[in-house]
């Protein structure tokens, strides 16, 4: 049974109590801004890894629509009526009709900080598409349905298609264009990581507004990724990458430099900022090293969001 079929089975069996769906967490291992597009977006080249450690959504058939936000970061998500989850629900219903997408009670448990560069809101919207399809017994894995969902995802924002792609293949991706031209990287490894955030939100638009150079050189046209690369090889590869949004984000939030220094002090082999910030992350050779680093950072900064996780990917050669 495929994961989509299993989810539909769960949705049917638990239609009264409802069912939960895990959204991914997104890390930009590299983010290169190549130019400004005619549609107002920027041309991007970004290497993305995901972890099954994002927010969690609960779906239940209901007599009328409802939406609630709970969790540690519920208070920082803005107005519920502006949430991307509701836009995803409404757009899917407009496409398929009210009979195909009947009233639903959705509860969003926010475990990730908002405006943090981790794709939280975009991943929540992607999970909403998948959850509502399961609830309505729509086969999201069928190519025609997948294409329509990807089109809807692109209407909601640049990060939503890549987050939706994670539900179809849990691997790293190379994304180009506005972030919607996706190439899966099935041999890219699972990497232990620690993600930290000091609680300061950085709006993507404000970071792009501070960007002084928007026509940077590409690096990943032919990524030198081979199946026999070990952890040290990947660290050397990633050191050749950039996050072109780090300088403008640093200008807005100088504490980012301290956060990267803290990750280095914890033993990270390589560290960077994800997306437009303000979350930073470090990579470690083993999950035990990542967990020890997370414990070290929590002692140093007890008020920080700190998460030790492992990205989705292939096993690393020893």
159, 180, 244, 310: the catalytic one is 159
Which of 269, 265, 274, 292 has the alpha carbon at shortest distance from 197?
Answer: 274
Give the separation between CA 248 and CA 112, rounded to whole angstroms.
23
Angle subtended by helix axes 143-156 and 160-168, to nearest 10: 150
Rounded CA-CA distance 297/21 in Å is 29
β-pair type (192-197, 305-310)? antiparallel
Rounded-to-integer distance, Cα 307 and Cα 146, Å: 31
Catalytic residue check, 213: no
Distance CA 228, CA 149 (A): 35
Residue 243 CA to residue 247 CA, distance in Å, equals 8
Question: Could you confirm whether 180 is annotated as catalytic?
Answer: no
Alpha carbon 243 to its chain's center: 16
Q: Of 220, 230, 234, 165, nearest to 44 (Cα)?
A: 220
Spacing of C-alpha 211 from chain mean position: 22
Separation of alpha carbons 131 and 8, rounded Å: 9
Residues that are catalytic: 26, 159
């Amino acid at each position: 049974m495929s994961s989509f079929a299993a989810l539909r089975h769960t949705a049917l069996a638990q239609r009264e109590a409802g069912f939960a769906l895990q959204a991914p967490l997104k890390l930009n291992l590299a983010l290169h801004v190549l130019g400004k597009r005619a549609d107002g977006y920027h041309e991007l080249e970004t290497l993305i890894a995901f972890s099954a450690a994002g927010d969690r959504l609960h779906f239940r058939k209901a007599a009328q629509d409802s939406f609630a936000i709970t969790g540690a970061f519920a208070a920082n998500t803005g107005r519920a009526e502006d949430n991307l989850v509701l836009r995803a629900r409404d757009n899917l219903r407009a496409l398929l009709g009210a009979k195909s997408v009947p009233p639903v009670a959705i509860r969003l448990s926010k475990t990730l900080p908002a405006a943090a560069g981790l794709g939280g809101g975009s991943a929540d919207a992607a999970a909403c598409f998948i959850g509502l399809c399961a609830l309505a017994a729509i086969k999201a894995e069928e190519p025609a349905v997948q294409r329509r969902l990807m089109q809807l995802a692109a209407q909601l924002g640049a990060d939503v298609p890549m987050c939706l792609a994670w539900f179809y293949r849990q691997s790293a991706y190379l994304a180009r264009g506005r972030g919607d031209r996706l190439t899966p990287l099935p041999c890219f490894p699972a990497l232990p990581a620690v993600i930290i955030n000091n609680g300061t939100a950085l709006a993507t638009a404000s970071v792009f507004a501070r960007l002084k150079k928007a026509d940077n050189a590409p690096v990943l046209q032919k990524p030198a990724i081979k199946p026999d690369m070990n952890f040290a090889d990947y660290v050397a590869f990633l050191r050749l990458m950039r996050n072109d949004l780090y300088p403008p984000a640093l200008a807005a939030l100088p504490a980012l430099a301290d956060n990267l220094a803290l990750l280095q002090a914890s033993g990270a082999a390589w560290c960077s900022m994800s997306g437009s910030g303000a979350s930073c992350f470090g990579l470690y050779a083993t999950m035990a090293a990542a967990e020890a680093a997370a414990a070290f950072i929590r002692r140093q900064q007890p008020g920080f969001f700190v998460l030790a996780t492992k990205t989705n990917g292939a096993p690393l050669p020893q």
